[in-house]
């Protein structure tokens, strides 16, 4: 068990190091002179060649790639995500100002996706009615097919403008998070419900459930106490991957609903080719994905310790001819 935990932690650290190198390499493909962009953001309209050369030397832009990568990594470890080319402010400070709103949106969307997917998956399995099953599968398919940005536009046009529920301009609080979080969560909930439904049906076919039925357990109690725990490992793995996708899909939803979060700020940075901001958001998304995946792996090990147990080595038996030769030689 301890060995399995250590292996997963080491894998997460190695994955994060590899991802950081790929993220840092984004600036190698950026167009324009970073020194000129930063100086213009700081109010220097037309920096001279000498000023540009001094700025590059001061900030180590003329150093080798390995040296610059190590400096950037050291800065990230100390909370320095670079300076925005567009605003001239530290990217970490810009993110900290907007991160609470993004956390509110992503956390609310995660709760909605978990509740909705669980209901869509469990109701047909518990009551075993064809009408419920068809309805749940149709709803899940509709959630998956319709893009979240289209749902966001429909919500704004119909729910907000015509019906008068919600706000066109949101403020990043729980009072206005409902529609943005719902638009972000529906597609993920549809996908999760199909995975959980399949796992529940496989777990519900086990023969040991006949004992629970013989003891008088009802469908709901049997599903919650026996079927659901056996279906959780696969479901949790999908949730770990989907949680990162919620963060990756947040920029579009934030831009549509004018949500004051990190995603909307990143969209503006992409349009302005502000590479340090794009690097920071990409690194944040990758880190969230790796950390959540690690936590899911540890949760699965806690639920089912057999997954972390070392498999005993099977003793390979020699063929009959080889055994005969061994016996003759002895």
Query: What would the DSSP string read from start to end of 11-22?
Result: HHHHHHHHHHHH
Q: Are 228 and 99 in contact (CB under 8 A)?
A: no
Cα R_g (the chain), whole angstroms: 27
Surface-to-core class of residue 79, CB atoms within 10 Å of its CB (0-12 exposed, 13-18 middle, 19+ buried): exposed
- Please write the tens of the pLDDT for every residue from 288-298: 888 888 887 88
Give the tens place of pLDDT for each residue, 212-245: 666 666 666 666 666 777 777 778 778 877 877 7
Q: What is the DSSP letter of 166?
A: S
Q: What pTM was computed for the model? A: 0.76
User: Is the predicted pLDDT of residue 75 greater than 50, yes or no?
Assistant: yes
pLDDT in tens, 115-131: 998 888 887 777 777 77
pLDDT at residue 328, rounded to an integer: 47
More confident of the two residues 141 and 88: 141
User: What is the Cα–Cα distance from 290 to 76, expressed in whole angstroms?
Assistant: 16
Name the CATH superfamily for 94-304. Answer: MetI-like (1.10.3720.10)
Measure Cα distances from 42 to 39, 46, 52, 278 in Å. 5, 11, 13, 19
pLDDT, tens digit, for every residue of 2-42?
787 788 888 888 988 898 888 888 777 766 677 777 777 66
Angstrom CA distances, 192 to 138, 179, 249, 282, stand at 14, 20, 16, 24
Mean of per-residue pLDDT scores for the chain: 79
* Other CB atoms within 10 Å distance of the CB of residue 148: 23
Q: Where are the domains of the chain?
A: 2-77, 94-304
Q: Which residues contact 1 (CB under 8 A, 6 or more apart)?
A: 301, 305, 308, 309
pLDDT at 276 over 70: yes
Q: What is the pLDDT of residue 116?
A: 92
């Amino acid at each position: 068990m301890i060995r399995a935990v250590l292996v997963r932690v080491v894998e997460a650290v190695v994955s994060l190091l590899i991802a950081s190198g790929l993220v840092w390499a984004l600036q190698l493909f950026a167009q324009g002179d970073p020194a000129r962009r930063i100086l213009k953001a700081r109010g220097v309209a037309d920096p001279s060649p000498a000023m540009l050369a001094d700025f590059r030397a001061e900030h180590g832009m003329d150093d080798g790639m390995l040296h610059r990568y190590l400096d950037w990594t050291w800065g990230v470890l100390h909370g320095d995500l670079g300076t925005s080319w567009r605003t001239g402010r530290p990217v970490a400070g810009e993110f900290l100002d907007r991160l609470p709103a993004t956390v509110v949106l992503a956390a609310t969307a995660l709760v909605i996706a978990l509740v909705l997917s669980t209901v869509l998956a469990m109701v047909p399995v518990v009551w075993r009615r064809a009408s419920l099953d068809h309805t749940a599968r149709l709803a899940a398919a509709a959630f998956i097919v319709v893009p979240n940005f289209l749902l966001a536009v429909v919500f704004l046009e119909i729910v907000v403008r015509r019906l008068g529920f919600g706000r066109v301009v949101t403020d990043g609080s729980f009072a206005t998070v409902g529609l943005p979080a719902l638009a972000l969560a529906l597609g993920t909930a549809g996908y999760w419900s199909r995975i959980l439904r399949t796992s529940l049906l496989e777990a519900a076919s086990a023969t040991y459930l006949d004992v629970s039925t013989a003891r008088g357990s009802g469908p709901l109690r049997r599903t919650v106490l026996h079927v659901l725990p056996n279906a959780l490992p696969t479901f949790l793995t999908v949730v770990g991957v989907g949680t990162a996708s919620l963060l990756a899909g947040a920029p579009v939803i934030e831009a549509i609903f004018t949500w004051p979060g990190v995603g909307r700020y990143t969209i503006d940075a992409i349009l302005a080719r502000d590479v340090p901001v794009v690097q920071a958001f990409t690194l944040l998304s990758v880190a969230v994905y790796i950390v959540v995946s690690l936590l899911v792996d540890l949760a699965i090990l806690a639920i089912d310790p057999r997954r972390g147990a070392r498999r005993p080595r099977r003793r390979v038996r020699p063929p009959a001819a080889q055994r005969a030769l061994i016996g003759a030689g002895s």
